[in-house]
Amino acid sequence: MIINKETITQLAAVQKRLDGRKLHDYRQPLLIETDISWTAEGSARVQIGETVVMAGVKLSLEKPYNDTPDEGGIMINVELLPLSSPDYEPGPPSIKAVELARVVDRGIREAQAIDLKKLCITPGEKAWFVTIDIMSINDAGNLFDAAGLASLAALKSAHFPVVDEKTGAIDYKQKTEKSLPLRKEPLPVTIYKINNSLLVDPTREEEETAQARLTVASDAKGSISAMQKGGEEPLSIEEVSSIIDLAIEKSAFLRQILTKSLQ
Amino acid sequence: MSIVVNERDIVIPGEALAEGLDFLPGDNTYRENEKIYSKVLGLVSIAGRVLKITPLSGPYIFKPGDKIIGEVIDILMSGWRIKTGTAYTAMLSMQDASSRFIRKDEDLSRILAVGDYVVVKVTKVTSQNLIDVTMKEPGLHKVNGGRIIKINSQKVPRVIGKKGSMISLIKAHTNCDITVGQNGLIWLRGTPEGEQLAAEAIKIIEQKSHQEGLTEKMEQFLVSRTGKKIENYMPEESSE
């Protein structure tokens, strides 16, 4: 709706938003629920306002890649379900789905969040591979943060399945007490720029209005593991540094909610 | 020979409402084998011997004379195509859009561009759902500023209220201009806070549309949010 876009732009200049929130407020309810699926080793459902995302972690035993014979691996897939938004269609992943998967993947991979060496069982032969599947249940904006939060919650709730020592077969119906070797907990936060104001947690209309966005994945210590710029307009160095400060502050806020929900 | 439902019961499609020939099927009902059934999900209303259902959901059905809000999606040789939020698009022809003379070589996008919103009135609906609209009457115009929200079109009568009571109440408490399209698009313009409150109030009405005494509840809500009570919010002559 072009009318609403114009209004969003005008309001952003005076630090206001269409839904009455402050620029740096997340929508409510912000809910994180884990262990929602018994077929996955770890799973989570994240709700930010009307946006709902589900993530599942599957573990399988595979042969390690030739260049890293002593490491396991991670893989992240995103599916934007047609029912979650009128813009999504069935078929091969769209550019948006690929970008979302890669941004979440890079946040976790580049932070070396999972100790891949500990996933190796026999070097060159057998290692655990982690697959995270992310699905949009309802897209009301800000899938980046929701997907990142859901993947981390799913990883934290994951437990290894029981492996038969003689045959090597995996019994997915039984879970051990052992959880994934997580070293860091990166969370992506996406900051949008509209009319020279920076805001978090956009609605769909705000996403469409935004001139630029920057996703910053940072861990509990505030060290940055990955960034991704989107949108048509450039960002100045001052803007990038204030975005990073804001992103680290907001990732601490999300981390606090995640810790509270997992207790 | 009896009625099996009560006034304001919620019924589902295919649910029996009455037996025998004492009652007559009204809107959204049908008779089969001496029984009257509901066609839709909705509330029962009994008017004498006639049974009617007020639907709770469903698409907007075009009626000549309805004021609707639409988006311009295409510029044609002699007019504009308007998206109406239903399965059908409407046609706004050049002579119905502007009262001034439009030259042969004039750029139509200077009058209405793709993406503009317009408040228009339905003039003609054919059996094939080809819809003609006009923008030439008072109160019909291109939308400028403010915001547009979308609600279920079946709830539009509740948002307007009896003789426009609900809409006048919201207008008076939020100081917003509000235009309600019968197709469920609503245009609000006022201060950002006023627009926000009006949008919130309309969403509440949409959710609680089947409750009785909603106008009083909404008045309480608006007074509690604005902190001031406004008497006689009804205009002298309602235009809605």
What percent of chain A lies above the pLDDT cut of 70? 99
Among B122, B142, B162, the domain boundary falls at B142
Q: Is B192 on the interface with A (CB under 8 A)?
A: yes
**pLDDT digit string, tens, across residues A51-77:** 999 999 999 999 999 999 999 999 999
* Same domain for B218 and B171: yes
Residue of B147, B187, B207 to mutate, interface with A, max A Cβ within 10 Å: B147
How many domains does the structure of chain B reveal? 3
A7-262 CATH choice from 3.30.230.70, 3.30.429.10, 3.20.180.10, 1.10.15.40: 3.30.230.70
Nearest CA in chain A to B71: A1
pLDDT of residue B236: 59
Asked if A2's CB is within 8 angstroms of B147's CB, the reply is no
Taking 50 as the threshold, does the pLDDT of residue B90 lie above it?
A: yes
Q: Is residue B60 part of a domain?
A: no
Asked if B148's CB is within 8 angstroms of A4's CB, the reply is yes
* Same domain for B158 and B136: no
Chain A residues near residue B143 by CB distance under 8 angstroms? 3
Question: How many CA atoms does the CB half-sphere of A121 hold within 13 Å?
Answer: 12
What does the pLDDT average to over A126-135? 96
Report the amino acid identity of residue B95. Answer: Q
Nearest CA in chain A to B83: A1
- The CATH number that applies at residue B98 is 2.40.50.140
**pLDDT digit string, tens, across residues B27-59:** 899 999 889 999 999 989 888 889 999 888 888
pLDDT of residue B237: 55
pLDDT of residue B229: 79
What does the pLDDT average to over A226-235? 94
Structural domain harbouring B167: 147-226
Closest CA to B31 of B39, A257, A217: B39
Count of CB atoms situated within 10 Å of the CB of A174: 10
Taking 70 as the threshold, does the pLDDT of residue A1 lie above it?
A: no
How far is residue B171's CA from residue B174's CA, in Å, rounded to a whole number? 5
Asked if B148's CB is within 8 angstroms of A3's CB, the reply is yes
Q: What is the DSSP string of A154-187?
A: HHHH-EEEEE-TTT--EEEEEEEEEE--B----E
Q: Is A3 on the interface with B (CB under 8 A)?
A: yes
* Same domain for B221 and B155: yes
* Same domain for B154 and B132: no
Q: Which of B71, B145, B193 sits opposite A7 (nearest CB)?
A: B145
Taking 90 as the threshold, does the pLDDT of residue A182 lie above it?
A: yes
Chain B residues near residue A3 by CB distance under 8 angstroms? 117, 143-148, 187
B 221-240 → A contacts, CB under 8 A:
none
Q: Which of A3, A16, A19 sits opposite B143 (nearest CB)?
A: A3
Please state the domain extents for chain A: 7-262
pLDDT of residue B58: 86
* Same domain for B155 and B218: yes
- The CATH number that applies at residue B180 is 3.30.1370.10
> Which CA distances in Å does A146 have to A30, A109, A152, B187?
10, 18, 10, 31
Q: Is residue B239 part of a domain?
A: no
* Same domain for B129 and B88: yes
Asked if B193's CB is within 8 angstroms of A7's CB, the reply is no
Residues with Cβ < 8 Å from A80, sequence gap 6 or more? A88, A93, A94, A96, A97, A100, A136, A139, A143
Query: Where residue B240 falls among pLDDT bands split at 50, 70, 90?
Result: very low
Q: Is A4 on the interface with B (CB under 8 A)?
A: yes
